[in-house]
Amino acid sequence: MGEDNKLTNAEVRKRAAYVAPNPRSRRKRGRSRRRKRFTPLKFLCALLILALVLGVAGLAYMFIYANTRFLPLTYIDKVYVGGLTAEEADATLTECYRHLDNAFTIERKDGLKETLLLDEAGVKRHYEGITEAIKSQDAFDLIRKRDEEKTFDLPYNITIDDEGRIIDILENSIVNQEGNYTVPGNAYSEINKYTGLYEIKKGVTGTQIRPSVAAYEVTRAVKEGGHELKLSESSYVEPEVKLNNKDLAYYTDRMNALNEIHIKINMGGNPHEIVEITNEELRKMVDPDFWTTDAPEKAVDKSKVERYVRTLAGRYNTANPVGYRFFTSITGKKELINTTLGWTLDEPATLSRLYPVVEAAVFKTLRNEELSDKEKKPVLEAIWTQTCNSHGENDFGPTYIEVSIAEQKLRYVENGEIKLESDVVTGLQRAKDRRTPTGVFTTKSKRLDKDLTGYNPDGTISYVSHVQYWMPFNGNIGFHDASWRWKFGGTIYKWDGSHGCINMPIPKAKELYSYIQKGMTVIVYAGTEPETDSAKKSS
């Protein structure tokens, strides 16, 4: 070969790489190009296929959503749970219950209320059937009822972590604070002032609660889903003694039986004064807890009988050991008199006489034993260390003679009325040894035509005075006429008084002599001077 026919290496490689086209292959490629050509029919088919795929996917999503979450606008117990899974809905409901339904109101019968916070007591609400509620949804409601509210009323149960916590809360609550409640009062036996008989009365029910019982009622109400509770009677502290208490009935019956006992005490005096222990006073002597004792014979409290005797002494004692007491003159004036006379009750001796009688009568009555008339109606004698004529403010009796030195008046009182009144002249006031002694005395005797002799300190005769009517009451001191005087009363006693006797006009002395008897009481007191006309004018 010539040089013109030589091939370079590049050409050789090019020629070697060339392969002649296959006619059949060319036809095949032509047909492929024709199928890929875009047409409206093909576009429509593509859209249908896409819509089908999307529809299937949407249905799948709807069914999956409706089986795993609540549909929109869904509520359980007014709590919105739309779009929430079962676990999310349960947590939301629990949280909402804790915040929205946390208050529980407890009301007492008197209207006082207490608010209990349930979360403090560990109260929780657990709904049942949340998962089942989700599965019961219709997936197509996502489209058909997408604008409608859907509500599920699901059952639930309430648990309390620590029920003892409710008791602690109630123990420290307002309704259980001292001062905010009324303590219950026992049924009691009380005398009817109209019938004089004891009757059983209902005590105060009170408003003090029993936290343990109240907590039980609250727990039950909370578990039932309630939010308020009015406590029942069983939640309150009950009185120890109720209406049907047998001991109270026995006490009432026996106290009424004491009405059959009538103990009387003769207090003496003229006329005799009889005191009867009233039913009320007798009942006070009985120990109110006598039915609880093993020794019913000790049912009478001796200290209370002693107190009763002391009451008698306070009522009837008039003597004053100091030597002074008050006396009411027949004119109505209170006068201080110098005397230890009066009544003085011997309290220990009277008690020793009274207590056994009371004890025996009460003991038999409480044992429901028959009492004789003497046991039912005994009459005892009071024992006195000192007595007087009669009982009363003026216990010297209704008949006596009183002399007022200040008034220079003598009054003879008979049965409470002035029988005789006279001006007198008493002892010389300025001479201590000639003053008329004050006090309470008794007449010793009476004589006609008596010579009264006075003596000097050395024993010589000082004077001899003849009187027609002589009525001594204190040694050589007495009432008598004084014919040597022409005037009585006024202030004569201050400068020309007697030697201590009570000088009287002859007619008045004669009249007194006719009334006076041995042992008659004579009361001499200082008295108060009557106001003169000049004194009245100056005042």
Residue 153 to residue 142: CA distance in whole angstroms: 20
SS3 track for 500-539: CCEEECHHHHHHHHHHCCCCCEEEEECCCCCCCHHHHHHC
Rg (CA), the chain: 60
Picking from 75-84, 102-111, 138-147, 433-442, which range would have the lowest pLDDT averaged per residue? 138-147
pTM: predicted TM-score of the whole model, two decimal places: 0.55
Confidence of residue 536 (pLDDT cuts 50, 70, 90): very low
85 near 102, Cβ under 8 Å?
no
Say yes or no to pLDDT of 40 above 90.
no
Residue 220 to residue 235: CA distance in whole angstroms: 13
- pLDDT tens track for 147-177: 888 888 888 888 888 778 888 888 888 888 8
For residue 534, what pLDDT is reported? 45
Q: Comparing C-alpha atoms, which of 379, 388, 314, 309 is closest to residue 349?
A: 309
- pLDDT tens track for 431-448: 998 999 999 999 999 999
Confidence of residue 422 (pLDDT cuts 50, 70, 90): very high
Picking from 14-23, 100-109, 247-256, which range would have the lowest pLDDT averaged per residue? 14-23
Say yes or no to pLDDT of 20 above 70.
no
- pLDDT tens track for 190-205: 888 888 888 989 888 8
- Tell me the pairing of strands 198-201 and 228-230: unpaired
For residue 507, what pLDDT is reported? 97
Say yes or no to pLDDT of 331 above 60.
yes
Q: Report, as an integer, the average pLDDT of 448-465.
A: 88
118 vs 209, residue with greater confidence: 209
Say yes or no to pLDDT of 21 above 80.
no
33 vs 44, residue with greater confidence: 44
Which residues is 116 bridged to in the sheet?
Answer: 104
Residue 361 to residue 257: CA distance in whole angstroms: 11
Buried b (16+ CB within 10 A) or exposed e, 513-532: beebeeebbbbbbebeeeee
5 vs 264, residue with greater confidence: 264
